[in-house]
Amino acid sequence: MYPSRFRYEAPRSIDDAIALLRQGAGEAKVLAGGQSLVPLLKLRFAAPELLVDINNLPGLDYHRADPDGTIRIGALCRHAELERSTILATRQPTMAAAAPLIADPVVRNRGTLVGSLCHADPQGDWASVVTALGGHVVAQGANGRRNIPVAQFVTGPFQNVLAYDEIAVEAVIPAPKGTVAGGYLKLERRVGDFATAGTAVALEMSGAVVTRAGIALTGVGGSTIDAAEAAQALVGGPLTADSIAHAADLAAQAAQPRSDHRGSADYKRHIVRTFVERILTRVQPSTERAA
């Protein structure tokens, strides 16, 4: 099927892009990597009157670490750049683990992390990762910029809080206060598929003690699930076999999976429990069960 007719603009400044979105008055859409939007257009699930292509906007194709350890990902930073990133490989294990698991190489060459957050697919991997890391989105509109914690940015399946004339210009991962640990595991039916279930775990530690924890779940609810209670159960002590099992149980309880062609609800819950346990056990493999 062909998309509905639309006007296409490719502005060269953010101000011009925002002005075009204002003109569109809710009938315009931002086009970034196009890996989610173009299929929607072709299926006519989306029929905007105007496409504002942001690929010519200068200064958005970066990811970098600030001196304090804050990681910033610009709106035109592709998944593939994150997959090859030495910054993530050396500083951010949860993101480094997730990057190669997003779709396939063709999609990773064009798609963006920020676009993935904006698209708010319950099966989007990055939303879980950024939620577990306590990250936020920087949105820019006619009145300037605002920071939106990602847990508030995504409001439901395929919904975010951006105003129609705002562009998400950056995703930000706050600087850790201790050493970082964690990972991302995803069960997919075949390489390149969306998640049957995915689990992001992000820890900050002072010695053996967990000082901050985030756990978020992909594909097991109507939206990304922030398993905050499971994460909080880890804070304030070392990882032990008991604390790991407890957190894994709480994460499985937080999941709201539905049975579908990818698996039964019980199976997906089991995957969540297993993945949380697996990631945490790898962080601290020599944990002892309390007597």
Ligand X SMILES: Cc1cc2nc3c(=O)[nH]c(=O)nc-3n(C[C@H](O)[C@H](O)[C@H](O)COP(=O)(O)OP(=O)(O)OC[C@H]3O[C@@H](n4cnc5c(N)ncnc54)[C@H](O)[C@@H]3O)c2cc1C
Q: Any contact of residue 125 with ligand X (CB under 6 A)?
A: yes
Q: Could you tell me which residues come within 8 angstroms of residue 32 by beta carbon, excluding any fewer than 6 positions away?
A: 54, 55, 75, 76, 111, 112, 114, 115, 118
C-alpha torsion sign, points 222, 114, 270, 287: negative
Q: Any contact of residue 114 with ligand X (CB under 6 A)?
A: yes
Question: What DSSP line would sit under 140-173, residue for residue?
Answer: EETTEEEEEEHHHHEEETTEE---TT-EEEEEEE
CB of 167 to ligand X, least distance (A): 4
Q: Any contact of residue 36 with ligand X (CB under 6 A)?
A: yes
The span from the CA of 279 to the CA of 181, in Å, is 9
Report the candidate in 287, 273, 282, 291 with the shortest Cα–Cα distance to residue 94: 282
Q: Any contact of residue 103 with ligand X (CB under 6 A)?
A: yes
Q: Any contact of residue 194 with ligand X (CB under 6 A)?
A: yes
Residue ranges in 234-273 that form contacts with ligand X under rule CB under 6 A: none
Distances (CA, A) of 193 to 32, 61, 125, 262, 276: 21, 26, 11, 11, 21
CB of 1 to ligand X, least distance (A): 16
CB of 83 to ligand X, least distance (A): 12
CB of 70 to ligand X, least distance (A): 19
CB of 147 to ligand X, least distance (A): 14
Q: Any contact of residue 99 with ligand X (CB under 6 A)?
A: no
Q: Could you tell me which residues come within 8 angstroms of residue 67 by beta carbon, excluding any fewer than 6 positions away?
A: none
Q: Any contact of residue 31 with ligand X (CB under 6 A)?
A: yes
The span from the CA of 194 to the CA of 201, in Å, is 18
Pick from 20, 167, 233, 254: which binds ligand X (CB under 6 A)? 167
> Number of residues in contact with ligand X, rule: CB under 6 A?
30
Q: Is the CB of residue 227 less than 8 Å from the CB of residue 251?
A: yes
Question: Quick one: 79 or 269, whose CB is closer to ligand X?
Answer: 79
Helix (H) or strand (E) holding 18: helix 14-24
Is 7 in a helix, a strand, or coil?
strand
CB of 129 to ligand X, least distance (A): 9
Q: Any contact of residue 24 with ligand X (CB under 6 A)?
A: no
Question: Quick one: 4 or 206, whose CB is closer to ligand X?
Answer: 4
Pick from 75, 82, 201, 279: which binds ligand X (CB under 6 A)? 75
Question: Quick one: 148 or 244, whose CB is closer to ligand X?
Answer: 148
Pick from 71, 162, 205, 254: which binds ligand X (CB under 6 A)? 162
Q: Any contact of residue 217 with ligand X (CB under 6 A)?
A: no
CB of 20 to ligand X, least distance (A): 12
Q: Is the CB of residue 100 less than 8 Å from the CB of residue 139?
A: no
The span from the CA of 199 to the CA of 218, in Å, is 6
List residues binding ligand X (CB under 6 A).
29-37, 39, 54, 75, 102-103, 107, 111-112, 114-116, 118-119, 121, 124-126, 162, 167-168, 194
